[in-house]
Amino acid sequence: MAQGDLTCDVHIIGGGPAGYTAGIYAARAGLKTVISTPAALSGMMAMAPTVGNWPSQVEPAPGRDILERIHDQALNAGAEVVLESVAGVNFSEERGLQVFGGAQVHVARAVVVATGAMSPAEKVPGEEDFLGRGVAYCVACDGPLFAEEPVIVVGLDQHAAEEALALSEIASSVVFATPARTLNLDDHLAGALAETPNVTVETGVRLQEIVGDQSVEGGRFKDTDGNERIIAGTGIFMYLRGNEPATEFLLGAVDLDEKGFIITDELLATSMPGVYAAGDVRHKVVRQQVVAAGEGAVAALSAERFVRGSERIAMQRGIAR
Ligand SMILES: Cc1cc2nc3c(=O)[nH]c(=O)nc-3n(C[C@H](O)[C@H](O)[C@H](O)COP(=O)(O)OP(=O)(O)OC[C@H]3O[C@@H](n4cnc5c(N)ncnc54)[C@H](O)[C@@H]3O)c2cc1C
């Protein structure tokens, strides 16, 4: 097959809830659909130890188990899953959008980017050991697991402070521990933190290690004078790293915001015709699995509309499918 030949109608990059849901919709619409992902079960949902806010999931379950069902559903619908990491794209070819996989070049009529926003790999000692046993990253996801318990929120910014405040409504007490000597928060948030009786703010403390036996019992922190102490808590919510969008491989082919998230319109179209984005990789506020899945559906429906339209144009121009 020549490099410019079409290999599918819709090429989806990423195998998380956004990518696999896009795959279900595109394949069920009768489009030849290919999904590239480095592993069948990967991304943030695959890492989530328990998920309690997935509709129809009456009892919380590991994110991996839920993702496996979405993956299987995409396969059943007819999508092809190729295990590879996409290294680059070329969206300026006239006869199709090129996606450079591990061993092959895919050429698609439409592309859905659903590569998520994983945290960079560097972890605090103890963080991986206690994942699912007291280490958490999101109050909407895991806050209810710590009802009436003492928790620690570690972070630097406005988002971390907002999460600490949200947690104060659930937990018995919250220590907001920050390595910053002074916090740069808006006045309203700073006032709310100061006035909430079960929140304590500890500035100038850097987390060295998460400690515990079977589950988290606290964090070992070092202050600016080099003194170390344990802050106790049965949960520790981590907001130090933030999430980084997986968009380097796009090499500037679509418009990104200043942090590298993809800018889309209401139909999840990017700045490049025929290229859509769904899930955590998008510039937006709420990053949750159910939202990612919903966006996968929207992106696939938009891609379908684009493909059907471009099919008509191709037929008018005499370009074979
Ligand atoms: C510990 C933890 C607990 C969480 N708990 C919850 C919860 O309870 N409820 C909730 O709603 N949300 C929770 N979240 C957040 C949720 O997991 C994410 O919002 C959701 O997974 C985003 O879906 P996504 O498909 O956009 O991205 P992801 O799930 O991150 O999937 C991205 C996919 O893209 C692939 N990919 C990346 N780069 C490439 C590339 N170059 N080529 C090909 N593929 C690529 C990845 O391998 C992965 O398959 C949790 C997250 C974590 C880490």
Q: Which residues line ligand 1 (CB under 6 A)?
A: 13-19, 36-38, 42-45, 47-48, 51-53, 85-86, 114-116, 118, 137-138, 141, 246, 249, 279-281, 287-290, 292
Rounded alpha-carbon distances, angstroms, from residue 315 to 6, 106, 302: 14, 21, 20
CATH, range 135-239:
3.50.50.60
Which atom of ligand 1 lies closest to the CA of 281? 26
User: Residue by residue, what is the 3-state secondary structure of 288-315?
Assistant: CHHHHHHHHHHHHHHHHHHHHHHHHHHH
Cβ contact 268:295 at 8 Å = yes
Q: Pick the more confident residue, 102 or 76.
A: 76
For the ranges 49-53, 95-99, 235-239, which has the lowest average pLDDT?
Answer: 49-53
Mean pLDDT of 65-92: 96
Mean pLDDT score of the chain: 91
Per-residue pLDDT for 321 more than 50?
A: no
pLDDT at position 245 over 50: yes
The yes-or-no answer on residue 186 being catalytic is no
- What's the pLDDT band for 6 if we cut at 50, 70, 90? confident
Q: Does 1 have pLDDT greater than 60?
A: no
What percentage of residues in the chain have a pLDDT greater than 90?
74
Asked if residue 268 lies in contact with residue 110, where contact means CB atoms within 8 angstroms, the answer is no
Please check whether the two domains, 8-118+243-317 and 135-239, share a CATH topology.
yes
**Closest ligand 1 atom to Cα of 246:** 38
The alpha carbon of 242 and the centre of ligand 1 are apart by a number of angstroms equal to: 14
CATH level 3 topology of 8-118+243-317 = FAD/NAD(P)-binding domain (3.50.50)
Q: How far is CA 273 from the centre of its chain?
A: 24
More confident residue, 103 or 302: 302
The one catalytic residue among 5, 8, 129, 142: 142
How confident is the model over 128-146, as a mean pLDDT? Answer: 90
* Arithmetic mean of pLDDT, 41-60: 89
Task: Please state the rounded mean pLDDT for residues 187-211.
Answer: 94
Asked about 9 being catalytic, the answer comes back as: no
Q: What is the mean pLDDT of residues 101-119?
A: 91
The CA distance from 321 to 318, in Å, is 9
From the centroid of its chain, how far is CA 27?
A: 23
Q: How confident is the model at residue 161 (pLDDT cuts 50, 70, 90)?
A: very high
What local confidence, expressed as pLDDT, does residue 181 receive?
85
- Which pTM does this prediction carry? 0.80
Domain ranges of the chain: 8-118+243-317, 135-239
Residue 240 has a pLDDT of 81
* pLDDT grade for 103, boundaries at 50, 70 and 90: confident
Q: What pLDDT is recorded for position 307?
A: 95
